[in-house]
Structure 1
């Protein structure tokens, strides 16, 4: 039989498996919230952030005399193990939970307390030496620990996402240069418009992602304002004098990132606006990535009965019924990531709007939605770049043929012949199946020499020399 230890809370006593580091509060949360099947331990950056917050809090309490050096040292050491990922499997509470994050904070308190007890030579659960609440949670409340940890983890993830977007842009930029001489028709509303190069098309994708990297960076200063030290509602109840400033300074040091104390801790404890802004920024990026993926699927459609302009690398067989069929699976997965992020944005919006008075009880679903969105986007950028963009090839001769036979070329004739005459050429070419050149000559509007002088080098129409 598994050895157990007895722990108690305000509801009574429960047996806890002796080998685990979590305790009775975590057990009740596990029983109460079998919701998503995804534990908070699944999100490495979030658990790491909890470790940072607990280390900073213990250090601040030591500096201000709220913890003894021995107790603080063991809490700090255990918190560092949390940061390093050594205790991830002990963070077992479901990511979706009631209680405004209390279950997550208690999970962290108990894991750190029991690991600290073990380091100090005591048994797990022997809380008279190091207590989850009186020591690990000293000068804290879930209501300042939890949102601070969310912000720390989001900063970690946003920086990683920016790097992954940059890697994707790098792959796109390589293709932009590779395809700089490949002439094709640009399209508006899926209809032939005017000539461009395939390289220009890829360069536009790179630029739009570059702009979103900037928007992501703008979120970091907003997320760097924290309410740690505000405790329950922002009034700093049960903290030593100066604690908020000290703990913020320590957190900045342990995270190697500059955090600031919110100007109004009561406002900062109840307000979740920064999470709405962050989610909106992630939705913007997702929408752009999905649009790029739509373009990739269109441009590669066929291979013979579609656009057929580019070829995506084959990743897997596309059908259990149709031999030889290969699907654009990497753009498709990015589309689905985008759908998820857009849905998560609505979840964050509704959760933020539903906060009441001095606290938002729905921060767990905000955290879950944001972490899901950002992790999906980061991984999606990686696979789209490595498994799709890097292997794209162009059907160069086919693209040139479509340009030379496109009615869209008449747009370049309008400044010389007038809109009406250019329209007449387009109509005649469409009706007869002739090229624009043939139609212009047959209507007597241009000679072959005149046409060639104007449109002989199609690349001039792309704006590139």
Structure 2
């Protein structure tokens, strides 16, 4: 959520905060529907009464309606900004920010910072451990494996990804706040960068520090939107289509039978078993005995 009461880079002025103060959550308790009027250098504009942002954010929503709901920030990023803004308000009160305004900012920022994400991704590898499906290599059907084995690979990829991120934490804990627009620290107070890092560290119980070089710190990019969307739209609530998996598994097994059987099955659109029976290579009983998917999902004894 963008919040007008919280200005860019953690530096606030009374003129920028007056509108935001009017729309803090304390003031909104008596307003449930409709719009309120906010003003900026372009004049008045109507803002939904239940939103914490002000005139500039509302104009941005109207003038730059690109992507819409498809390109919203991941919730963890929004919560992180809430923590930053709360700490910035706390430090700015030490530098003379009106406590009435500062406390309103902190209250609104705390509301932004609250929330949780569900993570069920690694659990399905256990749930799917007995479901056998056809494996694929180079876009072609290959040998069988269980759905659980397949998802264990995904789970391990996520684990290794977390490990790689963990290794970067000493640098990720360096905050650019206090560098303002381009890293120079223009319009901030001396010591603001150190104090806000200390405040964030206290708020999160994590070892945040101010970045040694604010110019370098400004180049960091957060690439969390794809993972958040995948988790929400695909992984969460995923279920196995057992009937479909079984059908695909037995339609084409591949590699284990004679070329003639595979060629005939492909040409006629039949299963390998049907092709083998029509060619007289195997009886039905022999095929069922030799081709057992459950014995093809791991090393032999």
Q: Could you say which TM-score interval applies, normalised by the shorter chain? A: 0.5 to 0.7
Change (3 A) 1:463 1:18: closer
Give 1:67's aligned residue: 96
Q: Once the 2 structures are TM-superposed, how far is the Cα of residue 82 of structure 1 from its aligned partner?
A: 1.0
Q: How many residues align?
A: 247
Unaligned runs of 5+ in 2: 1-18, 25-36, 41-53
| 2:104 maps to 1:264 | no
Deviation at 1:254, TM superposition (A): 1.4
Which residue matches 1:385? 236
Pairing 1:93-132 to 2, within 5 Å after superposition: none
Choose from 242, 246, 251 the match for 1:394: 242
Query: Is the CA contact 1:228–1:244 (under 8 Å) kept in the aligned structure 2?
Result: yes
Higher helix share: 1
Residues 80 and 227 (structure 1), Cα distance of their counterparts in 2 relative to 1, 3 Å cut? same
Change over 3 Å in CA distance of 1:168–1:464 after alignment to 2: same
In the alignment, structure 1 residue 52 sits paired with structure 2 residue 4? no
TM-score for both structures, normalised by structure 2: 0.58
Q: Deviations over 1:18-64 (max 9, x none)?
A: 9645964443553465132979xx8776665454334323443566x
TM-superposition CA deviations, 1:217-248 (whole Å, max 9, x none): 64573654321122343233454443322221
Task: Find the residue that maps to 1:193 and give its secondary structure.
Answer: strand
Q: Is structure 2 residue 256 aligned with structure 1 residue 412?
A: yes
**Equivalent in the alignment of 1:423:** 259
What are the superposed Cα offsets for residues 380-428 of structure 1, whole Å, 9 maximum, x if unpaired?
24xx532x41xx452399649x63x7462xx335xxxxxxxx3245446
1:212 to 126, 145, 158: 158
Distance in 1 separating the partners of 2:164 and 2:245: 44
1:83 aligns with 2:92: no
Query: What corresponds to 1:461 in structure 2?
Result: 296
TM-score (ref. length: structure 1): 0.41
- Residue 229 of structure 1 corresponds to 178
Deviation at 1:168, TM superposition (A): 3.5
In structure 1, the gaps of 5 or more residues are: 1-15, 89-152, 286-373, 414-421
Q: Which deviates further from its counterpart, 204-213 or 29-38?
A: 29-38
Pair 1:214–1:67, CA change in 2 (3 A): farther
